[in-house]
Amino acid sequence: ATQPLIAPSILSADFAHLADEADAVAGADWLHVDVMDAHFVPNLTLGLPVVQSLLNATDIPLDCHLMIEDPGRWAPPYAEAGAHNVTFHAEATDDPIAVARDIRAAGAKAGLSVKPGTPIDPYLEILKEFDTLLVMSVEPGFGGQSFIPEVLEKARAVRKLVDSGELRLLVEIDGGINTDTVEAAAEAGVDCFVAGSAVYGAFDPAAAVRALRAQAAG
Ligand code: DX5
Ligand code: ZN
């Protein structure tokens, strides 16, 4: 893997002060924004209007993680708005290639996410349509859950294809990343580390970002 990227998740931030919370992680590579629709996952967070406001409030590239049904309908507007990455779930659509192409055509990087129980093999063929693979290391829906180490097998498999030149994309991990788990993920070949509670639960969130990055770099 190259220089590790750290993406604090604002799911663990104070939603009434999102601009300040973005400033609190100055130096982060991406700001991870969890969009949930109370259908794909049993939780409801925020949507396009909040993302549009955040885009005006911070220079940190937004990494939008859409945990929603019907991404073909809802994902492209996030790209049009100016999100850096727009990631949707493999489990949420029958036509992930079409969604990825629409996201890219609208000017963003396209990401595919898989839940912990979803195998990666059926998707290896289509990963060339994507810029990131987001491996979920908790069940999507909530911050503060425990890391599921078994998912690292998927990161390793895709890392191998990237290293051999068969694929070109970033491997991202999301869920339960903290000072106890980040090294195992880095060893599995993860490029980008999402961290919610480990960053926003810290006394100094910017220092927590730096510490995770240093640990991930080994
Ligand atoms: C969970 C979200 C994660 C969440 C991670 O569904 O996708 O991005 O914010 O939170 P932590 O780092 O606390 O597990
Ligand atoms: Zn997420």
Q: Which residue has the tokens 């955040």?
A: 54
Q: pLDDT band at residue 2, thresholds of 50, 70 and 90? A: confident
The CA 6 to ligand 1 mean position distance, Å, reads: 13
Confidence at residue 99, expressed as pLDDT on a 0 to 100 scale: 99
Residues 190, 155: contact at Cβ < 8 Å?
Answer: yes
Whether 135 lines ligand 1, by a CB cut-off of 6 Å, is no
Q: pLDDT band at residue 108, thresholds of 50, 70 and 90? A: very high
pLDDT above 90 covers a percentage of the chain that reads: 98
Q: pLDDT band at residue 1, thresholds of 50, 70 and 90? A: low
The CA 165 to ligand 1 mean position distance, Å, reads: 30
Which DSSP string do the residues of 33-75 spell out, in sequence order?
A: EEEEBSSSSS-B---HHHHHHHHHH--SPEEEEEE-S-HHHHS
Active-site residue set: 34, 174
pTM above 0.90, yes or no: yes
Q: Which residue has the tokens 């980008």?
A: 192
The CA 164 to ligand 2 mean position distance, Å, reads: 28
pLDDT tens-digit readout, 113-150: 999 999 999 999 999 999 999 999 999 999 999 999 99
Q: Which residue has the tokens 């990825």?
A: 100
Mark residue 165 as left, alpha or beta (left: phi above 0; alpha: psi -120 to 50; beta: remaining).
left
Tokens of 188: 């599995």
C-alpha distances out from residue 102 to 32, 107, 163, 212, Å: 21, 9, 27, 33
Pocket test for ligand 1, best of 6, 31, 34 (most atoms within 8 A of CB): 34
3-class SS of residue 209: helix
Q: Report the atom number in ligand 1 closest to the C-alpha of 176.
A: 14
pLDDT tens-digit readout, 5-36: 999 999 999 999 999 999 999 999 999 999 99
Q: Report the atom number in ligand 1 closest to the C-alpha of 140.
A: 6
Q: Report the atom number in ligand 1 closest to the C-alpha of 41.
A: 6
Tokens of 58: 């911070």
Whether 174 lines ligand 1, by a CB cut-off of 6 Å, is yes
Structural domain range at position 126: 5-217
The CA 135 to ligand 2 mean position distance, Å, reads: 10
CATH number of the domain enclosing 61: 3.20.20.70
Work out how many domains the chain is built from and give that number: 1
CB atoms within 5 A of ion ligand 2 belong to: 34, 65, 174
Pocket test for ligand 1, best of 91, 174, 180 (most atoms within 8 A of CB): 174
The residues facing 33 across adjacent strands are 64
Residue 175 annotated as part of some ligand binding site: yes
Residues 42, 141: contact at Cβ < 8 Å?
Answer: yes
Who's near 16: CB < 8 A, 6+ residues apart?
Answer: none
Measured from the Cβ of residue 158, the count of other Cβ atoms closer than 10 Å reads: 23
State the complex-level ipTM.
0.99
| Nearest-angstrom CA–CA distance, 195 and 212 | 9
